[in-house]
């Protein structure tokens, strides 16, 4: 990357993958990717190699989140460098295969961009997930998508937290982007969620095509929600949940949670209040897939990120 008069010149994005079925019961991405595998005309763009791909076919076949372990946490250095021996968890085997196909992770040979399509049972609407606050290409892309989606809201979740960031399937790419659209129950396909996901992908691919054609994107700012903390349910000494998400918090993703606001409702009717010092913005509230991860919701803070103007680097 080079910079002249605050314009950052970036390498063009030639190879793009679209992952569906990283979790085998999140139906929008699975359906879209299978549709595009059969007929890719909708996602074709000039000068781009675009590969739609089912990440976890065994889980998709069984309509379950995963077989042995969560594929979206499996792309660790330890897993990717593990010897190819019998007995590896299925998703670790799959991570190694995908790293060979779309990586290697962290190398110049890796795919330029990977979009990983997910559904959530939480009331998050359309959410773009970033893994870096300094990836100018992705910041400009999400800014373009948010403008194109208006008046519909498209939130941006930034996860750089050293303890809460995980090794995602998309992390193989130079520019990884997660797309989370809900609410949608597991194993169910809702038309409105399907169409939002489809439209966001259209705008994302349009952006890449424009960038590759030489269009310069001016400086911009992006409102993001930065991951802060994972909040668990209240539990007894045996680890059993003793409370539910409070009705005043349920379905209020991205809305402010202030000190003293209701957070949980115990099974015997007692309200547990939020006692944090600062206002936070919860998300993934009461996500069905996160009960096993001991997470009731995730707290975030709001930030504004600035991005330089970008254009394709001259050859």
Summarize the annotated binding site for Zn(2+) as residue ranges: 23, 26, 118
Measured between alpha carbons, how far is 295 from 163 in angstroms, rounded to an integer? 14
Token pair for 77: 């250095």
DSSP state of 70: -
Token pair for 12: 């063009």
Q: Is 255 a catalytic residue?
A: no
The Cα angle at residue 119 between residues 290 and 296, in degrees rounded to 5: 25
Contact 190, 135 (CB under 8 A): no
Q: Per the annotation, where are the binding residues for N-acetyl-L-aspartate?
A: 65, 180, 290
- CA 7 to mean position of chain CA atoms: 28
Helices 136-149 and 191-212 sit at what angle, rounded to 10 degrees? 130
Which one of 131, 180, 287, 292 is the catalytic residue?
A: 180
Contact 12, 315 (CB under 8 A): no
Token pair for 269: 């009717």
Q: Per the annotation, where are the binding residues?
A: 23, 26, 65, 72-73, 118, 166-170, 180, 290
The Cα angle at residue 235 between residues 285 and 272, in degrees rounded to 5: 60
Q: Per the annotation, where are the binding residues for substrate?
A: 72-73, 166-170
Residues classed as catalytic? 180
């Amino acid at each position: 990357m080079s910079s002249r008069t605050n314009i950052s010149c970036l390498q063009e994005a030639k190879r793009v993958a679209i992952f569906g079925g990283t979790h085998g019961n999140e139906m929008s991405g699975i359906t879209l990717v299978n549709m595009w595998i059969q007929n890719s005309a909708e996602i074709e763009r000039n000068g781009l190699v675009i590969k739609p791909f089912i990440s976890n076919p065994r889980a998709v076949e069984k309509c379950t989140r995963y077989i042995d372990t969560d594929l979206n946490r499996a792309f660790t250095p330890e897993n990717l460098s593990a010897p190819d021996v019998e007995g590896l968890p299925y998703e670790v085997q799959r991570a190694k295969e995908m790293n060979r196909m779309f990586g290697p992770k962290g190398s110049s040979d890796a795919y330029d961009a990977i979009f990983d399509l997910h559904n959530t049972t939480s009331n998050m609407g359309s959410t773009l997930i970033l893994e870096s606050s300094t990836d100018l290409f992705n910041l400009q892309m999400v800014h373009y998508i948010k403008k194109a989606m208006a008046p519909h809201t498209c939130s941006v979740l930034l996860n750089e937290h050293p303890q809460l960031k995980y090794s995602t399937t998309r992390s193989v790419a130079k520019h990884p982007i997660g797309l989370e659209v809900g609410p949608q129950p597991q194993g169910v396909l809702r038309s409105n969620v399907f169409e939002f996901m489809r439209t966001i992908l259209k705008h994302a691919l349009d952006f890449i095509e424009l960038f590759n054609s030489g269009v310069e994107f001016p400086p911009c700012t992006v409102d993001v929600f930065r991951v802060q903390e994972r909040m668990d349910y209240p539990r007894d000494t045996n680890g059993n949940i003793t409370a539910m998400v409070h009705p005043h918090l349920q379905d209020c993703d991205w809305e402010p949670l202030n000190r003293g606001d209701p957070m949980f409702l115990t099974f015997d009717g007692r309200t547990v209040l939020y006692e944090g010092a600062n206002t936070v913005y919860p998300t993934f509230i009461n996500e069905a897939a996160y009960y096993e991860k001991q997470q009731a919701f995730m707290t975030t803070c709001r930030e504004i990120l600035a991005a330089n103007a970008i254009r394709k680097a001259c050859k």
